Amino acid sequence: MEAHIEDLWLVFVTSNFKRNPTDPEAMRTRDFAEVIGKDLKLLSSQTPMRAELEVMHKSESSNHPDKKFRFSCFVNGVVKVATRKKNPNKTPDQQVTEFITKYIKPLAKRRPKKDITSSLESVEPIFERLKPCLKDCFMFFASLPTDYEKNDLDRHKPRPDINAMTQSMGFGDWSAFCSLFNLSSSIGAAVKALSPNALASAFMDSIQVKHVDNVGGLTFEEFWEAIVRCCLIFKKDVESLPTPEDKVKSTLQHCANNLETAVQRTLGLGNITEGSGMAMAGMQSSGRNVSSNGALITGGTHEFARIIFEIIREGESGEVDAGPTAFDADDAEDKVWRIFLKANLTNNPRDWQAMRKRELVLIIRAQKKLRLMEADVNVIHQQEAGRNPAKRLEFKEFQCALRSVAKRAFPKEAKESDDTALSKLLNDFLLKTDDLLHEELVISDEDWEAAKEWLDFFDAPLKRIFSFFATFATDHEKKVLERHAAQEEGINQQTCSMKWADFLNFCACSNLSSGTGTALTALSLSHLGAAFADSIGSTKVNDLGGLTYDEFRKVLTRCALLFDYEETDTCRIRLEKMFLHMCNQFQTSVPRIINDGAERVGAGGQTAGGRNISTNGGLLLKGVREFNKVLHDNSQHLSLKEESIFKFGDGTTDDERRGSSLLDFTAGMRKGLS
């Protein structure tokens, strides 16, 4: 009988691979019935009734300690089928031998175990490079070996390089690993994946245990063999990958493609187990909490992706190698600044002076031939942002991040110098076109002269409005940027710098943005950020500081040019129309700001109510009043100029009374009452 165990084992596991790949160590009732009644192709006189097979399955599984139809149950079932009809000329052993030879052996030959010894030897260099990070991944999923594995199977002896608590990777743990590494589609992320049949066969063929009811878990070396088997199956029909090394490299690159999101999903859903009835989004963790010890899988997968990409890159010939290019540090810094502005103003305009991970990834992802893993880019962002006191990737950190990207993408050039690698990244990739560069909105000399002529009418009210929203200049602005040293007449030293947040407050108040929810037509945050960045005198630094009053006037001019007015309108006409647009909402937005400064604190973000600006409200009121007066006195596009509520009488009153606002009118009525 022992001579036929191997054939019985092959039939048992092959049937489970095909019919029950999620539990290849146990056979279900219908699977046993199909193996005996269909696969063996018995003569009709020898084929038991399906009911008999079901009763046989129930009897054997109920007598097993696991209450499952394990391999020993299958052997007993085959013996019962072979000897169900007595033959006076043969002993039971002879009947069993004849049955196995005639029916079992031909079926077992259909699926011999594939020997991959030569393939393992050829990919040994890859294994040596991946061994440290794969051990981290292995220990994250593996678990404590059972007494059965240690004593009965004599496996999983203590070893110094693997934690004793995580030495055995059972089939459930293997399934979870395959889900994470894009080898199966159970988490819904793998576009192309191996079938459960292939994953089960890789596990059972790799483990050095057979002919038992419970094979236990993989050792680390068997784990690597299972991975190689998956690689060979995954790319077996790809003619462009003739060698085992090519197949392994290509498959492992496929594994690394989705790790950045899959790892976070795994750690986030790790405490949802099968026992809770919620099925951990396909992660068959066998009920363990895989959110524990997340540092192992986070560090292991990142290092895995990095090494795999290095291996892939080493085998490439360099399709886009354009030779050395001259490096101009100043010109490079200017272009990097424009890239920084374009990415942030487009994707993160509310806080465009700091770059999020997503924006950095988008920049690199747009370079189709730049073979760099997203995991690498995310780690570079995290490392560089961590060096910033505010933990933000500002411009200086962005420069360092690009250098890190260049060094990782072009190791040969990096050996020569960091500047050479950065030059290759900029000239051969990022600056191939101007799509990534921010284009400054230039104000021509003619437009600026016309704008200044118009803005000079509003000098006094604009200074009051500017002073209300602006704040004091920081030491960084005064000492590092060397700005705001001398102030224009009418500008208080304590209110001489309009920061980006202050400017957003002003825009919400003046109807240039929809921050207060009242602007029907307004500029986008991208437009406002571009106008601010193009107007401020400081560039290519982490903290740009705030606008001076003269720069504030340039911002207003650029905003006017950005509004969707008639193309034939001159700069002055655009400013006039924009000022009319601004004054339309002053009457409602100003009281709201002054009386309820904390209106939108809970909504988050920089809006007109983001700070308590109810103090010094008279400065804003007076500035707005004078702004409206000057506008209605000088506007050429106000059709009801003489009937405006800002005029009283028939227009023949004295100059002091002409143009007074309702506030002045009511103030005059109250004289003598107090």
Tens digits of residue pLDDT in 148-197: 999 999 999 999 999 989 999 999 999 999 988 888 865 444 446 788 89
The correct answer on CATH 3.10.310.10 for the domain covering 2-108 is no
pLDDT at position 515: 56
Domains 2-108 and 329-430 share a fold: yes
pLDDT at position 31: 92
The count of C-alpha atoms lying within 13 angstroms of the C-alpha of 213, restricted to the half-sphere facing its C-beta, is 16
pLDDT at position 352: 93
Neighbours of 601 (CB within 10 A): 13
Tens digits of residue pLDDT in 350-374: 899 999 988 898 888 888 777 777 7
Q: What is the mean pLDDT of residues 207-226?
A: 93
Instruction: Say which DSSP state 568 is in.
Output: T
What whole-number distance in Å separates Cα of residue 361 and Cα of residue 301?
A: 18
pLDDT above 70 covers what percent of the chain?
Answer: 81
Higher pLDDT, 320 or 373: 373
pLDDT at position 668: 54
For the ranges 202-216, 393-407, 531-545, 651-665, the lowest mean pLDDT is seen at: 651-665
Neighbours of 423 (CB within 10 A): 22
Per mean pLDDT, which of 179-183, 416-420, 572-576 is the most reliable? 572-576
| Residue 535 parent element (H or E) | helix 525-535
The pTM score is 0.51
Tens digits of residue pLDDT in 50-87: 899 999 999 999 999 999 999 999 999 999 998 888 88
In degrees and rounded to multiples of 5, residue 386 shows phi and psi of -65, -20
pLDDT(304) > 70: yes
DSSP 579-619: HHHHHHHHHHHHHHHHH-TTTTGGG-SS-TTSS---TTHHH
- In the chain, domain spans: 2-108, 117-314, 329-430, 445-638
Higher pLDDT, 45 or 186: 45
Q: What is the mean pLDDT of residues 303-308?
A: 85
Q: What is the mean pLDDT of residues 136-151?
A: 93
**Residue 78: CB partners within 8 Å, gap ≥ 6?**
8, 36, 96, 99, 100, 104
Place of tokens 């011999």: 112
Instruction: Work out the mean pLDDT of the chain and round it to a whole number.
Output: 80
pLDDT at position 548: 93
Nearest 5°: the CA angle 376, 379, 380 is 85
pLDDT(331) > 60: yes
pLDDT(8) > 60: yes
Cα Rg, the chain, nearest whole Å: 38
**Residue 540: CB partners within 8 Å, gap ≥ 6?**
333, 334, 337, 395
pLDDT at position 664: 57
CB 557 within 8 A of CB 459: no
Q: Work out the pLDDT band at 277, boundaries 50, 70, 90.
A: very low
Nearest residue to 420 (alpha-carbon basis) of 321, 291, 278, 311: 321
pLDDT(672) > 70: no
pLDDT at position 291: 44
**Residue 667: CB partners within 8 Å, gap ≥ 6?**
none
pLDDT at position 167: 92
CATH no. of 329-430: 1.10.238
Place of tokens 């700001």: 593
**What's the full length of the chain, in residues?**
674
CB 96 within 8 A of CB 238: no
DSSP 344-359: HHHH-GGGTTSB-HHH
